[in-house]
Every structure is written in C-alpha cells, then in structure tokens.
Structure 1
Amino acid sequence: MEIIYVLIPIAMIFVAIAVMVFFWAVKSEQFDDLDRQSVSILFDEDTVKPNSHPVPEKEQAEAAQEKGMPL
C-alpha cells in the first residue's frame, strides 16, 4: 500500500510533462497543416530545382555520342 504514495506523484509528473509537451507542440504550430503531407504523395513534381542547371542540347548530343548511343 505504501507504493501508491510513490506511484501517484510519479503519474502526476508524467501527466504534467505530457500536457506541457502538447501545449508546446500547439504553440510551435506543429498541427497547422495536417492534410498537405498526406496528399502530397499523390502528385508528381516535375519542376526544375532552383540550383540545377539544364544541360544544353549540344552537350547532351556529345555525351550520347561518347557513350555510343544513337541520337
């Protein structure tokens, strides 16, 4: 029966920590957009990345000829 005097305060501490973590997550906007990630897998992104540079056609043709590929 004496163990209950230890377990109840420990349980209360765990609940207080869980409530603080929940309020921190809400305050830091973790739950603002729940639908975007679940739907984003359905759509392809064929956009050019900002740091990538397209290879000119002349360089592509030269690379294909070096590999022995027909144009």
Structure 2
Amino acid sequence: MSVIYVLLAISITVAILFFLAFILSVKSGQYDDSYTPSVRMLFEDEVVKPVSKSKSEKQNKPIELNK
C-alpha cells in the first residue's frame, strides 16, 4: 500500500516539473511563429463570395419607375 503513495508522489512531482517547463518555454517565446509572417504574402488568398440580399430585403426596397 505504501508503494502507491510513493508512486503518486513521484507522478505528481513529474507532472509539476513538466508543467513548469512548459510555462517557461511559453514565456521564453519557444512557440512563437517567426516564419509564417514573412511568407504570408506568398500564400494565395481565399476567394470571398459576396453576400446576396435576402428576399425580404429585396421586397422592402422601394420601386423606382423610369420616367
């Protein structure tokens, strides 16, 4: 039974160490992306389709008569 307590203490200690290492690496900028911004202009832009007006908006538009 005492082995479970020892293993539990060791696993919690290792988990805390990994968490601290992760926090330190994030703060030091390890995961910052410095490559993508320089080549972003080379990527093709996605085509954006214009939003069509709904039927209700078309019906509320005043009718213009050609004179």
Give the TM-score normalised by the residue count of structure 1.
0.46
Give the TM-score normalised by the residue count of structure 2.
0.49
Q: Which of these two proteins has the greater Rg computed from alpha carbons?
A: 2
